[in-house]
Structure 1
């Protein structure tokens, strides 16, 4: 028995490879046999695993067939997002090619059932819903309709919600009381339901080419020069009574760009973004 054990201990092949080699200074493997030098250690590359890309962000635009909403849809499509829209009329009257890439839903936000199907799989919502009329009508459209949407989105687990609100215009607020009271009520609901993913944009006059039936109104002819002039006159908006009238207009493309970014960028700061913030964020790449 002693002879067998002695023979095993002195046989190199019987020992684990770990104990029969040592590293030299130049990184080559040296055998315990002084007359033998092994080849450099070859490390086999790990097998490449095909990992599927992250799921596409699915964005729901409320009022996507309107002036601002249509630009939001286009901006989102340009960024490669999956876009759907809900409005009272359903499909947009615009015949541009981008409209064919949007999934159009017809519904009324004053009815809580309208949003159920359109919210399936949605990761973010942008509301461009608003309107003018009597005070009671304006409160319903700007306030109640958006509050219903915010609550439904929160219940469905939507991550982010962006609301296109409006800047304060001083005396104008009293003339359009239902409009602004509705907007502020919706803002309060949004900040309550989405404290970490709710963004409120407060633009002033939004300019750009607006489609009205078969006509296109070039609002930028007036808005663009005013924006250029008033964007440098920020101190004037603090003048009592008339100060808010100096709030600069903003291009609809800028509003759409910031809205989509706010809806899809997880580090975009929640809260209220005024017109100067919209201009600043729209210029960032």
Structure 2
């Protein structure tokens, strides 16, 4: 494989981090395909410009519903690596929000409602409930569906195509403004993917756990990153006493481009598997950057 062009498929490649993962892989000369509902990104939402950057023309931007494998399974054929870079921070009725019937505020209300969501069990395992997931994906976006089930379904298809490594963008510890289910569904996805597909001779699973990510193209992220950085400094000086209840609010934030570089570096390194925490993300990102300076 050393002389062959490596192929990466990014599900969620039109998003804030996903688009940067595509960019990082393109910079290495990889063959990159992005899969998302929208196809090509709305560039003003992920970069500082509404026009596609030069590297974007080297990515194949495909449209597909992740809960309908028939729409994208062929795109995974021959892939070396597949990355799941999808998820939601808040739950909402997808069509309701788009049509104006439901406001984003309702997402907060649903997230913190008394309902605990759908726990992972043998009867609700997405590996056995594909048709039900397809129907629900038309309307309701939940943590269980987007953070967990979509990743497991994608991993199933990747394993079927004998993909070498599967990268899942999980998250560092919870944030005080998000319900526990945001993190528990991500950890459940990690466990199922590792258990079902990561045995001896199986697909290498790499679970990225980034903290708060920032970029100058998203002005709002800059002051928030400053607050997180200050919190991380105070937390370090106090022996980590704040981490127990403030979670990622006091974890050092990372630039989105650095996390993207770390994802690509980890996929290319056979020794990296399992959870990749913040410190290792920073190390991998810097290692990737140093390679470009040689």
Quick check: TM above 0.5? yes
Confirm or deny: 8 A CA contact 2:176 2:247 kept in the other structure: no
- SS of the residue aligned with 2:240? helix
Aligned residue for 2:131? none
Confirm or deny: 8 A CA contact 2:206 2:276 kept in the other structure: yes
Range with bigger deviation, 227-236 or 147-156: 227-236
- The equivalent position to 1:122 in structure 2, one of 72, 75, 79, is 79
- The equivalent position to 2:67 in structure 1, one of 110, 118, 128, is 110
Aligned residue for 1:93? 42
Correspondence list, 1:72-221, <5 A: 72-94=21-43, 95-131=52-88, 132-133=90-91, 134=110, 137-169=142-174, 171-172=176-177, 175-192=178-195, 193-195=197-199, 197-210=204-217, 216-217=218-219, 219-221=221-223
1:11-34 CA distances to partner (integer Å, 9 max, x unpaired)? xxxxxxxxxxxxxxxxxxxxxxxx
Distance 1:231 1:124 in 2: 36
1:247-285 CA distances to partner (integer Å, 9 max, x unpaired)? 121110111011001112223x21111112211222223
Question: CA shift at 1:127, angstroms?
Answer: 1.4
Alignment RMSD: 2.5
Confirm or deny: 8 A CA contact 1:90 1:105 kept in the other structure: yes
TM-score between both structures, scaled by the size of structure 1: 0.71
Question: CA shift at 1:186, angstroms?
Answer: 1.3
Q: Whose helix proportion is higher, 1 or 2?
A: 2
Question: CA shift at 1:183, angstroms?
Answer: 1.0
Structure 2 residue 267 is matched with structure 1 residue 263: yes
Confirm or deny: 8 A CA contact 2:235 2:243 kept in the other structure: no
Range with bigger deviation, 146-155 or 130-139: 130-139
Report the CA distance shift for 1:194/1:53 in structure 2 as closer, same or farther (over 3 A): closer
Aligned residue for 1:42? none
Aligned residue for 2:279? 276
1:32-81 CA distances to partner (integer Å, 9 max, x unpaired)? xxxxxxxxxxxxxxxxxxxx972100000111110001111111111111
Distance 2:233 2:16 in 1: 23
- SS of the residue aligned with 2:145? helix
Confirm or deny: 8 A CA contact 2:212 2:248 kept in the other structure: no
Aligned residue for 2:100? none
Distance 1:70 1:228 in 2: 28
Could you tell me which runs of 5 or more consecutive residues in structure 2 were left unpaired when the two chains were aligned. Answer: 44-51, 92-109, 112-116, 118-141
Aligned residue for 2:126? none
Could you tell me which runs of 5 or more consecutive residues in structure 1 were left unpaired when the two chains were aligned. Answer: 1-51, 211-215
Question: CA shift at 1:224, angstroms?
Answer: 5.2
Distance 1:207 1:139 in 2: 26
Q: Which has the larger radius of gyration?
A: 1
Report the CA distance shift for 1:232/1:194 in structure 2 as closer, same or farther (over 3 A): farther
Higher RCO (Cα < 8 Å, 6 or more apart): 2
Question: CA shift at 1:229, angstroms?
Answer: 6.8
